[in-house]
């Protein structure tokens, strides 16, 4: 029904998308861990610390508009 090249192409696409989602989640989790460190090192208030996360996810929103 499907040729072997189509199956291998589908497998590559699945592995690529899965690894991209893994890396995206890993970076998001690292962002959560770095906020207390930023707060201590740069003497940030709670509001300023939340702006770090807002800027991180806001960048995804702005890029999606382009």
pLDDT over 90 at 17, yes or no: yes
Give percent of the chain above pLDDT 70.
89
**pTM of the predicted structure, to 2 decimals:** 0.60
Tell me the per-residue pLDDT of 27-44, one tens digit each, with 9 for 90 and over: 889 988 989 999 999 999
Residue count of the chain: 66
Give the integer Cα–Cα distance in Å for 17 and 47. 34
Task: Look at residue 27 in the predicted model and tell me its pLDDT.
Answer: 87
**Comparing 1-5, 40-44, 55-59, which segment has the lowest mean pLDDT?**
1-5
């Amino acid at each position: 029904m499907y040729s072997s090249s189509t199956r291998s192409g589908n497998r590559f696409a699945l592995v690529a998308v899965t690894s991209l989602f893994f890396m995206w989640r890993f970076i998001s989790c690292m962002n959560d861990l770095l906020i207390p460190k930023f707060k201590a090192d740069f003497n940030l208030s709670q509001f300023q610390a939340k702006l770090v996360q807002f800027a991180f996810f806001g960048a995804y929103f702005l890029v999606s508009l382009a």
